[in-house]
Amino acid sequence: MKKFCAGLVLALIALQTSFANGGKQQDGGIVIGISKIIQHPALDDCERGIKDAIAARGINAGYDSQNANNDLSTAKQIAGKFQSERVAVAIGIATPAAQALANTLKTIPVVFTAVTDPIAAGLVTTVAHGENNVTGASDAIPTVENIALFKEIAGINTVGYIYASSEANSIVELELVTKGATEAGLSLVTQAVNTTADVKQAAQAVAGRVDGLYLSTDNTIMAALPAVIDVFRTAKKPIFAGDASGARNGGCMIASGSNYYKLGLSTGNIVADILSGKKPSEIPVKFATEPSELDFLIDLDAAKNCGITIPQKYLDQATMIFEDGKLTEKTE
């Protein structure tokens, strides 16, 4: 009987230690949950950076990686799964996935990433530090400045904006796009969509009414980017994208925004800090502010198709040039 009681006590201590060290254990290491709202190049790059950073910190981790396929109910189900599994840390890639995790998980650390405006999304009340068990990294882009640059380079008078009305980040971007168009003296044509299946039709509806199209970090739109590119390539009108990852295969005349792999590295380091004992509430929200954390892509093939000449000063600033069907990255 004494041996049984002693064994039970040891088992309980081991279980308590497992939760104190970050929850579920697997194969001698911890399990980290990753919920991605949808699959597209930027979010895939971000996930890869997260895993590389955690490995570089010497943390033995397994991953439960889930894709919500742009469905909010699925994102909520994934959050419930992570709750029942007691993952060590839950990572939400993109705003809807992060919101689902933060709304469900109250005792498990939640780290968001690729979130445009974490305050507007209700994830934190200040970017100076995390909120309770939540902190993370933002992929906010200088939308107003981007639209001014678009007008300067492309000489447009009317700009289009396609966005998913269900994404909080896209509503925030809509306000910024409206401000940018107003300040640049541009007419603005907007088109809302519900799913990726609606995107091509929306692009077709907008293409004949605008001189160029601006795209933000909207996940629904970026997941259907090839369809948008096809429409605007045929119309011979330029695209400016706030996400360069999806533009690496050509089609967007200009793409400028966060380098999502490096954003993932920053996110992974936040996760590693939490696993090392730091509280999420002590960690400020990370923004990409250094030039090395940003991408600036110019597609000369797309510019030629639109009859636009890119000034040399912007070619000199570009971190990536797409020409003759090939991408060239400048080394630092």
In a domain, 43, yes or no: yes
- One domain, residues 285 and 306: no
In a domain, 18, yes or no: no
- One domain, residues 235 and 205: yes
pLDDT at 189 over 90: yes
Amino acid at 38: I
Measured CA to CA, the distance from residue 39 to residue 219 in angstroms comes to 9
- One domain, residues 87 and 179: no
- One domain, residues 61 and 39: yes
The pLDDT tens digits of the residues spanning 24-34 come to 445 547 999 99
pLDDT value of residue 289: 82
pLDDT value of residue 25: 47
In a domain, 17, yes or no: no
Q: Which residue in 79, 46, 42 sits closest to 64, CA to CA?
A: 79
pLDDT value of residue 27: 52
Measured CA to CA, the distance from residue 92 to residue 186 in angstroms comes to 35
Amino acid at 76: K
- One domain, residues 247 and 271: no
Look up the domain containing 281 and give its range. 24-140+260-291
Interval 81-95 mean pLDDT? 97
- One domain, residues 33 and 108: yes
- One domain, residues 64 and 192: no
pTM for this prediction = 0.83
- One domain, residues 76 and 53: yes
286: left (phi over 0), alpha (psi -120 to 50) or beta: beta
Domain count, the chain: 2
Q: Which residue in 317, 322, 324 sits closest to 152, CA to CA?
A: 317
- One domain, residues 125 and 159: no
pLDDT band, very low/low/confident/very high, at 168 (cuts 50, 70, 90): confident
pLDDT value of residue 199: 97
pLDDT value of residue 307: 98
The pLDDT tens digits of the residues spanning 288-301 come to 888 888 999 999 99
Interval 59-70 mean pLDDT? 96
Q: Which two tokens stand for residue 144?
A: 């107003």
- One domain, residues 221 and 284: no
Q: What is the CATH number of the domain that holds 269?
A: 3.40.50.2300
In a domain, 87, yes or no: yes
In a domain, 119, yes or no: yes
Q: DSSP per residue over 110-123, as a string?
A: EEEEEES-TTTTTS
pLDDT at 2 over 50: no
- One domain, residues 64 and 194: no
Q: Which two tokens stand for residue 269?
A: 């380091």
In a domain, 19, yes or no: no
pLDDT value of residue 136: 98
Tokens 């892509």 label which residue?
Answer: 297
In a domain, 315, yes or no: yes
Q: Running DSSP on this structure, what letter comes out for residue 53?
A: H
Q: Which residues are CB-neighbours of 9 under 8 A, at least 6 positions away?
A: none
pLDDT at 281 over 90: yes
The pLDDT tens digits of the residues spanning 232-259 come to 999 999 999 998 988 999 999 999 999 9
- One domain, residues 209 and 183: yes
pLDDT at 321 over 70: yes
Interval 311-329 mean pLDDT? 96
pLDDT value of residue 269: 98
Q: Which residue in 124, 136, 33 sits closest to 75, CA to CA?
A: 33
Interval 79-102 mean pLDDT? 97
In a domain, 190, yes or no: yes
